Structure 1
């Protein structure tokens, strides 16, 4: 048996290659998972861009230190098991390498699934180490696996951003500026914010994506990046930065004297990522979704947190895959060469915002 994976050079994300290795034999307690499909979005590019700073390279380490394997969300089936409580044939949703298979060490097994107990993952955040049994997962529906892989991890972040802002009373502002407005995490956040009374949600995007963003119906207004002058300078606002564009961040901080909070989510504009030093106004603060999950787990308890998230997810998914006007279409990429091509496409940010990319190295 062989395992094929896509590796990228950590210092130069445009440098990617395919690697094939023999499958290692299992040791006691391990399971082998065949990875059927995974989503590739700008969120995964963010994982790579912040790979060292946020420990994303540590999940699936590569022997050659200058190379890394980008984590992705998807579905896999157990093909071999030396772990009591995990059966061959079971299907799991979770955090996988860009590969055709992976080996995990299940720990903390329960009806919902397990955590990977591998030594190199023990210090990493628990949210990324969980693998959920599709047979018992309340957010799982078998006919929407592609949409789940594409939208679910992003929407959970969106839901938490909205919850974090509401939890802080929007820092006293009522206008939210969202960059990279056509990205899935941004429009998931806008979908949630649009349900908040009295909150204006302004989407910032490139000229080519204005019509798409307007068609979603969850932005109060959609502006191009050079139309900031259409928002009054004395507007009390919050900037939710999905782009990571240093020039845009500086323009917003410079223009709005009443900028109440600056929240940095990711880096879809990889070539323009920059520091946040010497900015006027509030410090640009990186949003870390697991911290808000931990807070709400303490505030509400696991059951209530799950109930609220499940309700919001199903409402969003229904809208996103609506047969009448779907927000998302799926483009599949099968096989190593197609996966390599899809990675280059997503990295360059040239994709159609209505399309989501589902990949398989099988």
Structure 2
């Protein structure tokens, strides 16, 4: 069968990493034992995937090590990477006795038409797992393929599937980050939360969860967003922040009563210049205290601008270099989830997630995010190139498929 796979040059290859190549290759219908042949129907694409691509070769993250690039003329796993995507598919062949043809599944797939995956012996009624012994054990959430028929969060409607692809990966990062903060009483009782890249889904989902915790516990904790001027109006319209300020003037806005209290800064942007300004602002003596800075995301990075040394201390396990910020903390969702699985039962975690997801599916439809569907290889390629040229608007959400073609680059539907 003919297969199509979306690939990008590795930064280490010396080529432009923002190029996109759709590689045509063959996929055999004869698959080894304990494997599945999956038809990838469609997948979400957002700033999250831009981050996966940018950090594809970073040795702490290794996003290009989940799916190998096909071998074709001018393309190999040494020169190109496959950026993982969250998507839905259908199993069209299985050689594993506990996984069946025809099953609808959701997982961390390759942007392709077809995908052959090995299946470990760890199969239950809710999921099966892709064995990736070359990756750290805490990557297990990425190796899970969810069986939709028994997934308590699954809704088969097309809109619900679209929302799942767009929000589920980002929302759980936000959900478990808020859970982590709550487990420490917000670092001993912080009263103000400041977030960069406030227009991103990761940030505003975290704001949504903090405000919900506030309402349940009667807390007066305030959530303040920082964003660019072009995203300011959208971020304010969300109604999820107590205040929203632009990057250019936030330090003159956070004065007087607004600046008082114990602060947590959640950095979703990954912008060194902005972070330095935030640190400098809170170094001024006064009635405010910056308790901690948390690195949660990298929405401002791109494959062509990533600094290979950025995660050197993570990669080696060494202590922070001299002069580094002593209150910087990194949040990596799989690591915290591994801790919580030792503290809570599977049923308790499942119930927590089900309740949170059900609320989100109702509440998010008032946030003014538009869905853009793109079908067909040439259209997907054009849509990616448009993102490279123009960037990602915060109100845009994408669902792509390498099947079929559309008359124009994407149809829009309001969520």
- Normalised to the residue count of structure 1, the TM-score between the two structures is 0.93
- SS of equivalent to 1:238: strand
Equivalent pair of 1:36/1:100 in contact (CA under 8 Å)? yes
**Cα distance in 1 between the residues matched to 2:227 and 2:368:** 16
Residue-by-residue CA offset, 1:200-243 (whole Å, 9 max, x unaligned): 11111111211211121110101101122211366531111111
Whole-angstrom CA distance in 2 between matches of 1:259 and 1:237: 5
* Unmatched runs of 5 consecutive residues or more in structure 2: 70-75, 284-288, 312-320, 404-415
Query: Which position in structure 2 is the counterpart of 1:208?
Result: 230
Q: Select 1:50's aligned residue among 49, 55, 58.
A: 55
CA distance in 1, matches of 2:51, 2:17: 11
Q: Does 1:93 pair with 2:137?
A: no
Partners of 2:330 and 2:31 lie apart in 1 by 39
Q: Is residue 192 of structure 1 aligned with residue 233 of structure 2?
A: no
Counterpart-to-counterpart distance in 2, 1:127 and 1:181:
26
Alpha-carbon distance in 1 for matches of 2:183, 2:135: 31
Cα deviation for residue 251 of structure 1 reads 1.0
Which one has the largest radius of gyration? 2
Q: For residues 6-155 of structure 1, what are the structure 2 equivalents within 5 Å?
A: 6-11=6-11, 12-24=16-28, 25-53=30-58, 54-62=61-69, 63-107=76-120, 108-117=122-131, 120=134, 125-143=139-157, 144-155=160-171
> 3-state DSSP class of the match of 2:234?
helix
Q: Report the alpha carbon displacement of residue 345 of structure 1 after superposing the two structures with TM.
A: 3.8
Count of matched residue positions in the alignment of Structure 1 and Structure 2: 359
Q: 1:64 to 1:297 in 2, by over 3 A?
A: closer
Give the 3-state SS of the residue equivalent to 1:135 in structure 2. Answer: helix
Q: Distance in 2 between matches of 1:361 and 1:285?
A: 39
- Can you list the C-alpha shifts for 1:100-148, whole angstroms capped at 9, x where unaligned? 1111122211110200125556856111000111111011111200000
Which has more strand, going by share of residues?
A: 1
Give the SS at the match of 2:264: strand
Given that 1:246 and 1:273 are in contact with CA atoms closer than 8 Å, whether structure 2 keeps it comes out as no
Match of 1:244 among 270, 289, 292: 270
Please state if 1:328 is matched with 2:394: no
Higher mean displacement: 152-161 or 79-88:
79-88
Q: Which range is displaced more, 60-69 or 306-315?
A: 60-69
SS of the aligned residue for 1:256 comes to helix
Query: Which residue does 2:378 correspond to in 1?
Result: 337
Residue 263 of structure 1 pairs with residue 294 of structure 2: yes
Residues 38 and 359 in structure 1, CA contact (< 8 A), matched pair in contact too = yes
Q: CA RMSD in A?
A: 2.1
Query: CA shift at 1:270, angstroms?
Result: 1.6
Please state whether the residue corresponding to 1:3 is helix, strand or coil.
Answer: strand
Q: What are the superposed Cα offsets for residues 259-300 of structure 1, whole Å, 9 maximum, x if unpaired?
A: 211111221112565649777754433211011111221222
The change in CA–CA distance for 1:250 and 1:28 in structure 2 (over 3 A counts) is same
For 1:268 and 1:341, locate their aligned partners in 2 and report how far apart those are by CA, in whole Å.
Answer: 22
Cα distance in 2 for residues equivalent to 1:242 and 1:354: 17
Counterpart CA distance in 2 for 1:146 and 1:68 is: 25
Where does residue 352 of structure 1 map in the other structure?
393
Shift of 1:177: 1.1
CA 1:124–1:347 in structure 2 vs 1: closer, same or farther (change >3 Å)? farther
Cα deviations by residue, 1:163-206 (Å, 9 ceiling, x for unpaired) = 11111222242211111111111111010011222211111111
TM, length-normalised to structure 2:
0.81
Alignment of 1:280-319 (within 5 A): 281-319=325-363
Corresponding residue number in structure 2 for 1:221? 243
CA distance, structure 2, for counterparts of residue 120 and residue 282 of structure 1: 32
Query: How many angstroms does 1:82 deviate by?
Result: 1.4
CA distance in 1, matches of 2:341, 2:137: 20
Secondary structure at the residue paired with 2:361? helix
